[in-house]
Amino acid sequence: MTLVTRRSLRRRPGQASPVTAFVALGSNLDDPPERIRHAFQALAALPGTRVVRTSSLYRNPPVGDPDQPDFVNAVARIETGLGPRELLGELLAIEGAQGRVRDRPNGPRTLDLDLLLYGERTVREPGLTVPHPRMLGRAFVLMPLAEIAPEAIVPGRGAVADLVRNLDTSGMIKLAEK
């Protein structure tokens, strides 16, 4: 569990009050642990955003397409003045800066960033659904999220600590911190 406070949370004129959001991070190409650590730093550098806490890194088998390397996953808790759509745009930009190519669903990737929760809001817009629509069935999302925020509520579903109990976490391996 890491506390990152590289950037103070300053609001721009007209910017909303900070919201707590959770971002899932995953990688299985080109030194995944380092990619995740670099992404934590990139999140901390976003305007009006502060990384409050990061989970441990977890290694796990791929989902969907087994013919690829294992993934390394984590979750970051942030406070941000960015709106959900604006935050998603920044997450996609971070992925792009780390060479993310979307050539096949569930395929290998240098970096994947997913907006899991944005305050207590439910968002359903083209290209953006919060809570993340597939987070509930994924141990590689809920286990690191439960590590840093077991009390977090998934709107309409309940507390993360309760939700993770229903998943098979046997494939999850917590990596040693560097």
Judged against a pLDDT cut of 50, whether residue 1 lies above it is answered with no
Is 114 catalytic? The answer is: yes
Distance between CA atoms of residues 21 and 52, nearest Å: 10
In this prediction, residue 13 has a pLDDT band, given cuts at 50, 70 and 90, of low
Alpha-carbon distances, residue 103 vs 38, 91, 93, 100, 113 (angstroms): 23, 18, 17, 9, 16
Residue in this structure with the two tokens 């909303």, named with its chain if needed? 16
109 is catalytic: yes
152 neighbors 159 (Cβ within 8 angstroms): yes
Per the annotation, the verdict on 67 as an active-site residue is no
pLDDT tens per residue, range 140-171: 999 999 999 999 999 999 999 999 998 999 99
30 in the Ramachandran plot: left (φ > 0), alpha (ψ -120 to 50) or beta?
Answer: left
**Per the residue annotation, which of 35, 59, 77, 109 is the catalytic one?**
109
Phi-psi group of 148: left, alpha or beta (phi > 0 → left; psi -120 to 50 → alpha; rest → beta)? alpha
The conformation of residue 174, written as its DSSP 8-state character, comes to E
Residues 75-121 have pLDDT tens digits of 999 999 999 999 999 999 999 999 888 777 778 999 999 999 999 99
Per-residue pLDDT tens digits for 16-28: 689 999 999 999 9
144: left (phi over 0), alpha (psi -120 to 50) or beta: alpha
Which domains, ranges and CATH numbers included, belong to the chain? 19-174 (3.30.70.560)
pLDDT band at 15; cut points 50, 70, 90: low
Spot the catalytic one: 114, 134, 157, 168.
114
Q: Residues 26, 111: contact at Cβ < 8 Å?
A: yes
Active site residue 168: no
